[in-house]
Amino acid sequence: MCDPGRASICGRAIFQVEFALTRGKTSRGRTAVIVGAQWGDEGKGKIVDVLTQTFSVVARYAGGHNAGHTVIINGKKFILQLVPGGILRPECTSVIGNGVVIDPLAFLKEVASLRAAGVKVHGNLFISNRAQVILPYHRMMELDRKTLRPRENWNYFTWHRPSLRRQMGRRGLRVADLLDIQLLRTHIENACREKNMIAHALFNSDPLDADKMFREYADAALQIAPFVRDTALLLNRALAEGKSIVFEGAQGTMLDIDHGTYPFVTSSSATSGGAAIGTGVPPTSIDTVIGITKAYCTRVGSGPFPSELLGLQGGRKEKICVSAATNSAPSPGVRAALAGSICLYSVTLA
C-alpha cells in the first residue's frame, strides 16, 4: 500500500511497469491527418479517397455542411458535405466527429441521396453524440445579422457560426440532447422565446413557430438515432485494435479560427491540431500530417489575399478551376490568385 504522500510517485511507477509490460505486445493503428494548407478547395477529398483504399476508418473533424468534397468514382460524381469520403468504400467506416456542426435535415438529405445512389450507409456511418446541432433560429439570426451588418465578414454563410457561439456560451444543443425529446422541447421553446424577442426588436422579423420546429426535429432525431455513437471511444478502440484512421479536415489552414487570417476565417479549428480536438483522439496518436496545396490559390469571402487576380483573367480561373460543392458562397464569391490553368497538387509531410 502506498503512503498517501507518495501517491503520485507510486502512480508513475505503476504506469511505467504497465507500459513496459504492454510495449511490443500491442500494435496501434496508423493515423494520418489530411489538411488544407491554403484557404480550402485544395482537393482534399481526392486525396482522402485515394487513402481510403488502405485505411480502415475516415473521421471528419471540423466544419459543417458549409464545407464539401466532390469525388468521382468509376465515372460517378458524388458531392459530400457532412459525410466523410470513406462512405464511398463499403469496407471503410466513416465517422463524423464532435468538432463537426450537424444540421440534422442536411444530414438526412445527404444520407438519402447516398442511399438512392446505391451507397451502403447503415453500419458504415456514425455521428458523435457530442457534436453541436444547427437549428432554424441559427439561420434566422445569421440572416438578420447579415442584413444589419452587410459589410461584415461572411466567408462561410451556412448557419454554423451561431451554433458555435452558443456552444462557447454553454447554451448549445448537442446530438445527445437532440435524442432526449423532453430536453429538445424545452431547449427549442426557450431558444425561440429569446430569439423571437431579439429578432422582432432589432430586425422586425417574423417569429419562429416553436411547436412546428419541435415536431420537425423530433422526427429527425428518430431517424438520426441509429447513427449516434460515442465516437471518441469508437476511434480510440479502433486504434487499439490496430485499425488505421484518416482524419479528414475541412476548409484550410488560413481559415483557422486562431491561426488563420483573422477575422476573415471560419469558426472552427481547420489546422491539423483540430483532428485531436474534433475527434477525441489524443495528439500523441497522430503519426502523419499531409498538407494539400494547389498551383494557385482561391478563397471564399473577403479578407487579405496576396497576388489576387482581378478582372476577366481572375474570373476565368475561378469558373474553370473551382468546383464548389456547397453552392452557397456569399458575395464577393470565390477569388483566385497566382496564375495557373490546371489543378496541380503538392503534398507536405510533417
Dihedral (C-alpha) 191, 193, 194, 197: value to the nearest 10 degrees? 150
- Active-site residue flag, 219: no
Same domain as 238, residue 215: no
Residue 346 lies in a domain: no
Please say if the pLDDT value at position 256 is more than 70: yes
Residue 327 lies in a domain: no
Same domain as 159, residue 109: no
Residue 108 lies in a domain: yes
Banded pLDDT at 155 (limits 50, 70, 90): very low
Q: For position 252, which CATH number holds?
A: 3.40.440.10
> What integer is the mean pLDDT of 148-165?
51
Q: Which residue has the higher pLDDT, 181 or 157?
A: 181
At residue 231, the pLDDT reads 97
* Dihedrals phi, psi of 121, to nearest 5 degrees: -110, -45
| pTM of the shown model | 0.78
Banded pLDDT at 197 (limits 50, 70, 90): confident
Residue that finishes a domain, picked among 190, 210, 225: 225
By CB neighbour count within 10 A (0-12 exposed, 13-18 middle, 19+ buried), where does 327 fall? exposed
The one catalytic residue in 49, 65, 69, 138 is 69
Residue 166 grid cell: 452558443
Please say if the pLDDT value at position 158 is more than 60: no
- Active-site residue flag, 41: yes
> What integer is the mean pLDDT of 298-305?
76
d(CA 142, CA 155) in angstroms, rounded, equals 12
Running DSSP on this structure, what letter comes out for residue 283? Answer: G
Max Cα-Cα span within the chain = 78
Same domain as 233, residue 211: no
Number of domains in the chain: 2
Please say if the pLDDT value at position 259 is more than 80: yes
Residue 339 grid cell: 496564375
Comparing CA positions, the residue from 286, 251, 279, 350 lying closest to residue 59 is 279
The one catalytic residue in 41, 49, 103, 256 is 41
Q: For position 182, which CATH number holds?
A: 1.10.300.10
Residue 12 grid cell: 508513475
Please say if the pLDDT value at position 194 is more than 90: no
Domain of 147, in residue numbers:
136-225
At residue 52, the pLDDT reads 83
At residue 326, the pLDDT reads 45
Q: Which residue has the higher pLDDT, 100 or 322?
A: 100
